[in-house]
């Protein structure tokens, strides 16, 4: 599992502070009650210098998460874009992972958060493969989680906020302790929802499928990129609910997310997916995705924000 590799500076509320000074009180509202909105964004080393993948979309999702939780953020989208670019420059790194956070700090005594200040932190650090060094190449072994995802209109699944990740932790720990690399969770209706930190795609009969944004899963930015690339490649793609057993019978399966990028799944609950090898559609989508993010092919969608 990946440990955080430190960089020198973190942006906090408009200024750079030392990594070691980015501390919060144990009674900060976010620590007690899980109210830390965050994002996870990759910056890639391209031939034209470091480039952040879909920075605006990530920050927009962050501001939407804050809106749902009534957290006023005193920075505009443009200001946050510039602050993240400055952060990577200031730390003098190229490929890295950015983790913008909007937290409720120390102040409120109880659950009602309004007496806690809203604080914005922008850290980044170097981070390599998430699901293992050869996961992109060979794929991973997954299970179906015994834990379901949250039900719609309970805890909003489209908000990326710390408290939601209690669900992901249960799902992922169970998978690892049972000898799997990752788990796919079902929604409360028993239909496929998402992985602990990834969206799910199935390929069957040459058609690409993924579940809809149904209130049980995070609308992944990689998910939307995969759908756009499928369109570019002329691949038929359908957003529709998927029954659990489709995971066992489909030709190809993959999970996708910022950390996992496009990771093939080679087995589910010990049943091989297709012939157990990475399929051609998964490989074609993955190759095009990795070529775009690494600046090896034209960025026709304008997904890269260059840092310098
Ligand atoms: N679902 C969950 C629960 C996640 O944590 C993530 C990672 N942010 C994703 C899906 C994929 O989202 P994205 O592609 O925007 O990283």
* Residue 287 CB contacts under 8 Å (≥ 6 apart), including other chains: none
Q: How far is the CA of 71 from the centre of ligand 1 (A)?
A: 21
* DSSP symbols for 182-240: EEEEE-TTSBEEEESS-EEEEEETTEEEE----SSS---HHHHHHHHHHHHTT--EEE-
Ligand 1 proximal residues by C-beta, below 6 Å: 40, 168, 194, 197-199, 218, 220-223, 257-258
Q: What is the largest CA-CA distance in the chain?
A: 57
**Whole-number Å distance between alpha carbons of 177 and 249:** 25
Q: Is the CATH number 3.90.1170.50 carried by domain 135-293?
A: no
Q: Where are the domains of the chain?
A: 9-125, 135-293
Q: What is the pLDDT of residue 1?
A: 60
Measuring CA to CA, which residue among 262, 247, 233 is closest to residue 204? Answer: 247
Can you tell me which residue has the tokens 């440990």? 3
Q: What is the pLDDT of residue 3?
A: 84
The tens place of each residue's pLDDT in the chain, 308 residues long, gives 678 889 999 999 999 999 999 999 999 999 999 999 999 999 999 999 999 999 999 999 999 999 999 999 999 999 999 999 999 999 999 999 999 999 999 999 999 999 999 999 999 999 888 998 899 999 999 999 999 999 999 999 999 999 999 999 999 999 999 999 999 999 999 999 999 999 999 999 999 999 999 999 999 999 999 999 999 999 999 999 999 999 999 999 999 999 999 999 999 999 999 999 999 999 999 999 999 999 999 999 999 999 99
Residue among 160, 172, 236, 277 flagged as catalytic: 160
Atom of ligand 1 nearest to the CA of 218: 1
Atom of ligand 1 nearest to the CA of 61: 15
Same fold, 9-125 and 135-293: no
Q: How far is CA 72 from CA 23, 64, 66, 152, 224, in A?
A: 21, 11, 7, 24, 27
Structure tokens at 256: 């996708």
Sign of CA pseudo-dihedral 208, 39, 30, 108: negative
Is the distance from CB of 173 to CB of 185 less than 8 angstroms? no
Which residue, by CA, sits nearest to atom 2 of ligand 1? 197
Q: What is the pLDDT of residue 148?
A: 98
Structure tokens at 295: 């600046």
Buried/exposed 182-209: b ≥16 CB within 10 Å, e otherwise: bbbbbbeeebbbbbbbbbbbbbbeeebb
Which residue, by CA, sits nearest to atom 6 of ligand 1? 197
Can you tell me which residue has the tokens 């699901």? 131
Structure tokens at 108: 């409120």
Is the distance from CB of 38 to CB of 76 less than 8 angstroms? no
Domain 9-125 CATH class label: alpha beta
160 tagged catalytic: yes
């Amino acid at each position: 599992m990946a440990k955080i590799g430190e960089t020198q500076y973190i942006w906090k509320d408009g200024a750079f502070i030392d990594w070691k000074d980015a501390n919060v009180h144990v009674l900060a509202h976010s620590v007690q009650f899980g109210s830390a909105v965050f994002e996870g964004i990759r910056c890639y080393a391209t031939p034209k210098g470091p480039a952040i993948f879909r920075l605006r979309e990530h920050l927009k999702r962050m501001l939407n998460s804050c809106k749902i939780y009534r957290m006023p953020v005193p920075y505009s989208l443009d200001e946050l874009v510039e602050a993240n670019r400055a952060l990577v420059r200031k730390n003098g790194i190229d490929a890295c992972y950015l983790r913008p956070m909007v937290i409720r700090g120390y102040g409120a005594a109880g659950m009602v958060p309004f007496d806690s200040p809203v604080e914005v932190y922008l850290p980044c650090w170097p981070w390599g493969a998430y699901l293992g060094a050869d996961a992109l190449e060979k794929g991973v072994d997954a299970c179906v989680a015994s834990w379901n995802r949250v039900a719609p209109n309970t805890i909003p699944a489209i908000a990326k906020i710390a408290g939601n990740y209690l669900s992901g932790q249960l799902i992922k720990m169970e998978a690892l302790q049972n000898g799997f690399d990752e788990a796919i969770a079902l929604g409360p209706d028993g239909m496929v929802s998402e992985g602990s930190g990834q969206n799910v795609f199935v390929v069957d009969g040459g058609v690409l499928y993924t579940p809809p944004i149904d209130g049980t899963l995070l609308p992944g930015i990689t998910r939307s990129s995969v759908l756009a690339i499928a369109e570019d490649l002329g691949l038929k793609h359908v957003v529709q609910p998927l029954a659990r057993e489709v995971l066992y019978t489909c030709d190809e399966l993959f999970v996708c997310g910022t950390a996992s990028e496009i990771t093939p799944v080679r087995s589910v609950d010990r049943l091989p997916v297709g012939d157990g090898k990475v399929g051609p559609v998964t490989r074609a989508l993955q190759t095009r995705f990795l070529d775009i993010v690494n600046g090896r092919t034209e960025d026709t969608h304008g997904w890269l924000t260059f840092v310098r």
